[in-house]
Amino acid sequence: MNLSSTKITICEVLRRINDRNQGNSGKEVEIRKLIFQAVEMAKRMQYKLLEYKKDYDKDWWKKNPDYEKDLKRRSENGYKWGK
């Protein structure tokens, strides 16, 4: 999940929330766990919707102007995800 999307999708919004909860406090750790759970659910929903219609989300999402910056930050050592 240390990726980035070229579009502002549900998973990208959850990644941004995760970006803002990189500390070690109990609250931030719990938030990261919940975000991880939500991303897994969103991905399962995405796969199911694709079964029904391959291009269901065509033109839904805005472009992510911060794609490269997000990808770089999330790939750095020490980035926390889900724990």
Q: Does residue 35 belong to any structural domain of this protein?
A: yes
Domain annotation covers residue 21: yes
- Each residue's pLDDT tens digit, 35-69: 999 999 999 999 999 999 999 888 888 999 999 99
**73 with 80: CB under 8 angstroms?**
no
The answer to whether position 50 is within a domain reads yes
Residue 82 lies in a domain: no
Task: Give a yes or no: residue 30 inside a domain.
Answer: yes
Residue 66: inside a domain: yes
| Predicted pLDDT at 77 | 84
Model confidence, pTM: 0.80
Q: What's the structural domain count of the chain?
A: 1
Residue 17 belongs to a domain: yes
Residue 45 lies in a domain: yes
Structural domain containing residue 67: 10-75
Confidence of residue 1 (pLDDT cuts 50, 70, 90): low
Measured CA to CA in angstroms, residue 69 lies from 35, 42, 56, 66 at distances of: 21, 23, 28, 5
Retrieve residue 5's tokens: 């999307």
Average pLDDT of 16-32? 96
